[in-house]
Amino acid sequence: MQYRPLGRTGIRVSSYCLGTMMFGKLANADHEACVSMVHKALDFGINVIDTADAYSQGESEIIVGKALKGRRNNVVLATKAALPMGEDPNQRGGSRRWITRAVEGSLQRLQTDHIDLYQIHRMSPDVDVEETLSVLTDLMRAGKIRAFGASTVPASDIVEAQWAAERRGLARFRTEQPPYSILNRAIEHEVLPTCQRYGMGVMAWSPLAKGMLTGRYRRGERQPDSLRVKFFPKAMSDEASLGAVEALIPLAESAGISLMHMALAFVVAHPAVSAAIIGPRTMEQLDGLLAGADVVLTDDLLDRIDAIVPPACDVAPLEGAAYAPPSITQTSLRRRSLIERAAA
């Protein structure tokens, strides 16, 4: 297992990060089985684990807390907050009121006195970034978190947050957690260069494009009975994605590797990427993912991937998982009022 700098935090992380979104009632409610997966990953050399309070409404964090008993000091522990944790409209977002409560809940569930990397799961457009940076800075100074970052943030918002931190004398986002795979390369255009410019670590989620790059989803074949199909029906049947997969499979075979291992090696080949987040549901899946940890792609193979899916190009739809700014989601910000249109 390779170890890389997490930006300029001084922390070194394994090139694979164990993601635990599948732990808990969402996908695998067997706590002992999930704990065994954590231990297998740690024994293999993975030293960073990523979870979130919203994963099965805290159950994933509880499982991770159980798994890390006696091994906490050797693990870079990352979690996230900001997604809804209840019906109360104030149990979400990036406000000081909520983040202060959310971090205490995570610390309790994880059975630890500090979090190595605390991330804002999604930025809240209705919250000043200075509000969020301020509370995170205070939590860091109080010793409850060691560093903080965010997930799925556009390049313009990354820059704004960096400027706000400098203007106000606050600590800054040190990491970004974006979606990145062979089928989702749009972040190569601005997000990854921006992270490099500011010395931010990058932990990429969905390196297998929601499982599309496992090779289980093929054009003209019946879709497997999986959670991916249930939650992302459009993405898992997208014609452009399936077409790219059909072109990528023989490319991987010609190199003597599986599509899945080629996809993971592609993500960690980018110089901005600190780690690729793998999210197994079962021990069998974990074993299959770990088997590709030593795969390194040649320049020729990377060039041939570029010919199938060009750099900075998104082929696969993220289907609700990506950040959509108010300028897109709010109709009033995309259209003049009827009176204004009539007057024009």
Under DSSP, is residue 81 helix (H, G, I), strand (E, B) or coil? strand
What does the alpha-carbon distance between residue 107 and residue 51 come to, in Å, rounded to a whole number?
A: 12
Report DSSP letters for 159-204, one per residue: HHHHHHHHHHT-----EEE-B-BTTB-GGGTTHHHHHHHTT-EEEE
Burial environment of residue 129 by CB neighbours within 10 A (0 to 12, 13 to 18, 19 or more): buried
Which listed residue (3, 16, 55, 217) is catalytic?
A: 55
- Please say if 198 is a catalytic residue: no
Spell out the alpha helix ranges (H) of the chain.
31-44, 59-67, 96-110, 129-141, 155-168, 191-197, 227-231, 233-236, 239-254, 259-268, 283-290, 299-308, 326-329, 338-343
What does the alpha-carbon distance between residue 185 and residue 182 come to, in Å, rounded to a whole number?
A: 6
What does the alpha-carbon distance between residue 344 and residue 341 come to, in Å, rounded to a whole number?
A: 5
Q: Which residues have a catalytic role annotated?
A: 55
